[in-house]
Structure 1
Amino acid sequence: MELDHGDLLGGVFPAGGAVCRYGCRLDTDAIRGAWTVLAHQKIARHLRHLAAGLPAQRREAVAVLRQYAELYAGLPGTHTGGDDWMLRGRLFHQALTEAIWAVNIAHAARTLAAHSDTPGLDEVVPFLQSLREAAGAARGELLRKGEARSNYTAWLAAAEISCRCAADLINGAEPDAIGLAQEYGLAAHMRAAVHRDGWEWEASTYYHLFVLHAYLLALRGARPERLPDDLAAALGAMVSALAGVAAPDGTLPALHDGPYRREAQAAEIREVAALATQLFAGAPLKSVAQAAERDSAAALSADLDGWFADFPLPATPARHTFPDAGIAVFRSAGVHALLDAGPHGGGHGHQDKLSLYLYADDGTAWQPDPGQVPYAHRNLRTYYASTAAHPTFRVDEREQQPCDAVLDGDTGRCEQAYDGVTATRRVVTDRSYLLDILVLDAATERRLTAQLRPGTDLDVVAQGTDRARTVWGDGESAVLTGHHTSRPQAEFTVVTHPGTADDPARSRQGVDWSLTGRRAVFVSVYQSTETAPPIRRVSLSERAVHIDLADGTVAIHPIGA
């Protein structure tokens, strides 16, 4: 879990060590090093606030920039620390970390350049040039390695553009962010790394936001109507993708690698939403920003006003099916569901094919993607990327192989997770319920399991040898009911598993639903307790699912696989 950072701007590491939410304190060289990095990043963001402030604050910002310029000029060409795999920076171990810092440094300088009462800013120009050159060298190394789609590449290009624009403005020239996006490879990255359906190629909520943030920060001062059509379309689709997967209250699912819940990420979401509102009409991420305010209510940087020139573009309508990323969104009977059936997603993919995530309209995470812990926690990182951590299927108590699935409308199909096993998962919506049909077919007799992995309390009520009923919720938020049946009969076993990645120490009750055979059909019907008419019974024949409702109607759905 995240440690309390203490007063990052104060420059003093917390006395006794950084504290976790359970009261333990940690103080090691690695933690102090990470804290120092966070402090420098905090200072860079704070400089943006100061640069947009009163004259005394602007003078303070110039003084700090000049101190950084002097420090940076005395550094070697690359940092001598860090691990061998790292793409090294100069002030920081990693070039990516330095690029993020440099973008904020550059925007502080750019804001200051708009004021005539900030003497000494010209001394910062060589510093900005050095930052730009370092980012360019690192980006060139990535391109030589064939990593043109890397999220590192986006931020390195953003650093080059931001530093060049700031230096140009200080020198009296008019910045051209759109032209520089072509020159420094940001446009090429956008064309290579963003799917046609709008998702960044890794299909991770966190990295999608991360890359979109870099794009929006780099394009400061651009006139939206002058963006090349393909770049405007890509940016619009990226914003639309976030709006499409968000629950009605704006809660974003933590798909694949990325924090489940973190204050810093919430702040980033709010800044992305604010920038998207200036680029596209209609505040397309308004609810997403409002949901993020629950975790970060800090004031947004004052320099965001007027980030883009002139009028915003029409927003891209939110969509709910993403064939390239393999994500389908379903909304029915107070349930917001996502089916994950796409490519593995590279180094940030999880072994979670055909997972089904369930949220309430108010954002209650009944069955969420659990997210990911910070990467230094190797054992926990392995767990949160595992099949065992996700509401998906498992065979012979083993992990899925890293693989791709295919989404076809309301159905996901996976044939590569286990040799000799084909899995299909179909989601059906009705005004009164959401139906989930998971079918596993094996060439030989195997142990076939469907997993429920709640993010809330779960109560299981047995209703007979061939069916069960579940109630999901913690008593303070929305409540979900589930009716479950299988063919052949399967064991519905309650298991304990770690909670979401924001607090691995908290355990939750889940279900392993298992049988031994060559074919298994697992059927679940979900319904918010506020929905009428309630479900009385769910049964399963060889070819169809029968759902009896309290008003006397019976719905019949084909199994379809």
Structure 2
Amino acid sequence: MAALTITRERGGWWHAYVCPAHGVELDHGDLLGDPFPSTGAACRYGCRVDTEAVRGARTVLAHQAAAQRLRHLACGGPAERSEALRLLLEYAELYAGLPSTHPGAAGWMLHGRLFHQALTEAIWAVAVSHAVRTLAAHGGMRAELGALLPFLRSLGESAGQARAELRHKGESRSNYTAWLAAAETCCRSAALAIEGVEPDTVKLADHYGLFKHMRTAMHEDGWEWEGSTYYHLFVLHAYLLALRGSNPERLPGDIAGVLGAMITALAGIATPAGTLPALHDGPYRREAQSAEICEVATLADQLFAGAPLAAVVGAAARETATELPADLTGWFSGPPLPARTPRRSFPDTGFAVFRSAGIHALLDAGPHGGGHGHLDKLSLYLYADDGTAWQPDPGQVPYAHRSYRTYYAGTKAHPTFRVDDSEQAPCDAVLDGDTGRCTGAYDGVSAIRRIVTDPRYLLDILVLEADDERLLTAQLRPGTDLHVVAQGPDRARTVWGDSESAVMTGQHVSRPPADFTVVAHPGPADDPARTCRGVDWATTGRRAVFVSVYQSAEATPPIRRVSLSERTVHIDLADGTVATHSIGR
């Protein structure tokens, strides 16, 4: 393998690495071996994009890839370790020569030095510091590693200054804080290791504010306050990386509780096959995120017994060819803590998981979640047990694509309700057992969505009530093929999936009768240019009841007919039985 050469260019903002026409992330190529393509970065549809922002974004990816390679080299033989030291000294020299802040950063950003964002720099610093710490385990290298102490000190101080700025702004709960505090902890730990002192990472994590962030940025139900799968994983990753070498039994009880709840929250929303719904902001499917999930799961399995994320790591591993960092073995210095039991209901965050007859459903009925929240209250996401995304949360595109970012954060992208063809307002919903309630999305409109599980089917009841006549719409937003058959003015049948995926059927009926109209919509955010079939199910009035009954293809007995009376749902099954369920208010 050729010797690694690091770029001396400063990085920009990775979210700019996106095709302006199609909204897809551009091809990375060989980040460590190839320069920026002379014809521009490639889009999967054939576009070539070459702008200063795109070049800066690829430079971010190259620096992060180099930092991960350093972790691998540090775990190698003498030649690899010498190569890692050479590159670290080169990075130290580069960093020392940089101005205090990146001149190209946007005004809204928390500025870094090597990168536009201090957050990006903190992520890179954590990886770099772990490479240093691994090398420091070889006592014969410590004298040479001593030259890196000013570099580590500077990285830690930069992260500390950025964290102080967030604190001054009243934004201490920000996910940035987790990585900035992790960078401070990891850089100080690496410096102590060079000096021959075993770092007390529990004490350091407390000193640098990591534990305070855990105590303030997490809901009691285990979710990071923004309610985003991606950012939940993101801060959990920072926590676990910062605690290298700690004894799990020495963690403060509440901190162990937070970490356990965060890990079991992921296990709780995952399908039996390990697919994680992409709730709120975050990629729908991204190779780099799959690699991150694998690393988080590997560390989580060392912190808690019972392999809590075994299914999740299995699914993620199928989506990435990235090798796990070589330094993960023996991350903690003591045995794992007792296994935790995953939960299915998260009242603070407003997520409720339902499993019925081969269907894995998730109701989103919680707080808005700040800047990473979506206008999607009372969305219902539907997956097969094998992970087939019949009706997924569509995720989000790289943030620099403004129009697609707005779309995917908006109401029309989600399987929720809409009034007068307008966007929901940012608001909070309330989860009460199997029912979500929302009164803030539209003035004068209340919405209630109840999910009923039965061994034979899953029942969805959505009731919209308005103070005066409004256009009331329920939305279906498939991620798979959708076939629609109208069966009268008030009912329709749907088939979700195809011969290469799990298949689900839906029976849909409304009161009063509502138009069940097939519409085109962008698919999940990993490929916004793809067109999918959806449904806008709409009627004008002051009250509407939309009822859907879903069955996986394997469920028996099949549903023959669904009908509504004023207060009751009637489900006729092929074996002659009739099930009834109250519509409620």
Counterpart code for 1:387: T
Alignment of 1:266-305 (within 5 A): 266-305=290-329
Q: What is the aligned partner in structure 2 of residue 106 from structure 1?
A: 129
Q: What is the aligned partner in structure 2 of residue 339 from structure 1?
A: 363
Rounded Cα–Cα distance in structure 2 between residues aligned with 1:141 and 1:466: 57
The answer to whether the 8 A contact 1:327-1:342 is kept is yes
Q: What is the aligned partner in structure 1 of residue 114 from structure 2?
A: 91
The answer to whether the 8 A contact 1:536-1:548 is kept is yes
Q: What is the aligned partner in structure 1 of residue 518 from structure 2?
A: 494
Alignment of 1:72-471 (within 5 A): 72-118=95-141, 120-471=144-495
Give structure 1 stretches of 5+ with no counterpart: none
Rounded Cα–Cα distance in structure 2 between residues aligned with 1:466 and 1:135: 59
Q: Which moved more, 1:469-478 or 1:432-441?
A: 469-478
Deviations 1:116-169 (A, max 9, x none): 343521111110011001100110110011011000010000000000000001
- Verify: 1:473 aligned to 2:520, yes or no: no
How far did 1:27 drift? 1.2
How far did 1:298 drift? 2.2
Name the TM-score, length of structure 2 as normaliser: 0.95
Rounded Cα–Cα distance in structure 2 between residues aligned with 1:529 and 1:6: 41
Name the TM-score, length of structure 1 as normaliser: 0.99
Rounded Cα–Cα distance in structure 2 between residues aligned with 1:343 and 1:280: 29
Rounded Cα–Cα distance in structure 2 between residues aligned with 1:11 and 1:25: 16
Rounded Cα–Cα distance in structure 2 between residues aligned with 1:83 and 1:24: 26
Rounded Cα–Cα distance in structure 1 between residues aligned with 2:98 and 2:43: 34
Q: What is the aligned partner in structure 2 of residue 8 from structure 1?
A: 31
Rounded Cα–Cα distance in structure 2 between residues aligned with 1:504 and 1:367: 15
CA RMSD of aligned residues (A): 0.8
Give structure 2 stretches of 5+ with no counterpart: 1-23
Q: What is the aligned partner in structure 1 of residue 10 from structure 2?
A: none
Q: What is the aligned partner in structure 1 of residue 5 from structure 2?
A: none
Rounded Cα–Cα distance in structure 1 between residues aligned with 2:522 and 2:539: 24
SS in 2 for 1:49: helix
The answer to whether the 8 A contact 1:367-1:456 is kept is yes
Deviations 1:18-47 (A, max 9, x none): 111122211111111101111001000110
SS in 2 for 1:120: helix
Rounded Cα–Cα distance in structure 2 between residues aligned with 1:353 and 1:466: 25
Counterpart code for 2:574: A
How far did 1:15 drift? 3.4
Percentage of matched positions with identical amino acids: 74
Rounded Cα–Cα distance in structure 1 between residues aligned with 2:133 and 2:104: 31
How far did 1:315 drift? 2.2
Q: What is the aligned partner in structure 2 of residue 42 from structure 1?
A: 65
Q: What is the aligned partner in structure 2 of residue 66 from structure 1?
A: 89
Deviations 1:335-366 (A, max 9, x none): 00000000000000000000000000000000
Deviations 1:159-197 (A, max 9, x none): 000000000010011101100111100000000001110
Alignment of 1:539-554 (within 5 A): 539-554=563-578
Q: What is the aligned partner in structure 1 of residue 56 from structure 2?
A: 33
SS in 2 for 1:220: coil
Q: What is the aligned partner in structure 1 of residue 561 from structure 2?
A: 537
- Verify: 1:17 aligned to 2:40, yes or no: yes
How far did 1:475 drift? 2.0
Rounded Cα–Cα distance in structure 2 between residues aligned with 1:244 and 1:297: 26
Rounded Cα–Cα distance in structure 2 between residues aligned with 1:55 and 1:189: 39
Rounded Cα–Cα distance in structure 2 between residues aligned with 1:11 and 1:337: 43
Rounded Cα–Cα distance in structure 2 between residues aligned with 1:67 and 1:315: 43
Deviations 1:226-253 (A, max 9, x none): 0000000000000000000001100000
Correspondence for 2:506 among 444, 467, 482: 482
The answer to whether the 8 A contact 1:486-1:523 is kept is yes
Q: What is the aligned partner in structure 1 of residue 13 from structure 2?
A: none
SS in 1 for 2:339: coil
SS in 1 for 2:138: coil
The answer to whether the 8 A contact 1:11-1:39 is kept is no
Rounded Cα–Cα distance in structure 2 between residues aligned with 1:125 and 1:296: 35
SS in 1 for 2:502: coil
Counterpart code for 1:545: V
The answer to whether the 8 A contact 1:55-1:117 is kept is no
Rounded Cα–Cα distance in structure 2 between residues aligned with 1:466 and 1:130: 67
Rounded Cα–Cα distance in structure 1 between residues aligned with 2:98 and 2:26: 30
The answer to whether the 8 A contact 1:453-1:509 is kept is yes
Counterpart code for 1:18: A
Rounded Cα–Cα distance in structure 2 between residues aligned with 1:14 and 1:148: 40
Counterpart code for 2:51: T
The answer to whether the 8 A contact 1:204-1:348 is kept is yes
SS in 2 for 1:215: helix
Rounded Cα–Cα distance in structure 1 between residues aligned with 2:172 and 2:51: 36
Counterpart code for 1:95: A
- Verify: 1:519 aligned to 2:532, yes or no: no
Deviations 1:514-549 (A, max 9, x none): 001100000000000011111000000000000011
Deviations 1:469-492 (A, max 9, x none): 000003201000000000001110
SS in 1 for 2:394: coil
Rounded Cα–Cα distance in structure 2 between residues aligned with 1:264 and 1:521: 42
Rounded Cα–Cα distance in structure 2 between residues aligned with 1:233 and 1:379: 40
Counterpart code for 1:384: Y
The alpha-carbon distance between structure 1 residues 11 and 126, as it changes in their structure 2 partners (threshold 3 A), is farther
Counterpart code for 1:112: L
Correspondence for 2:533 among 500, 505, 509: 509
Rounded Cα–Cα distance in structure 1 between residues aligned with 2:454 and 2:356: 6
SS in 2 for 1:302: coil
SS in 1 for 2:112: coil
Deviations 1:350-400 (A, max 9, x none): 000000000000000000000000100000000001100000000011110
Q: Which moved more, 1:83-92 or 1:131-140?
A: 83-92
Counterpart code for 1:547: I
Counterpart code for 1:27: D
Rounded Cα–Cα distance in structure 2 between residues aligned with 1:310 and 1:255: 34
Runs of 4+ in 1 over 6 A off after TM superposition: none
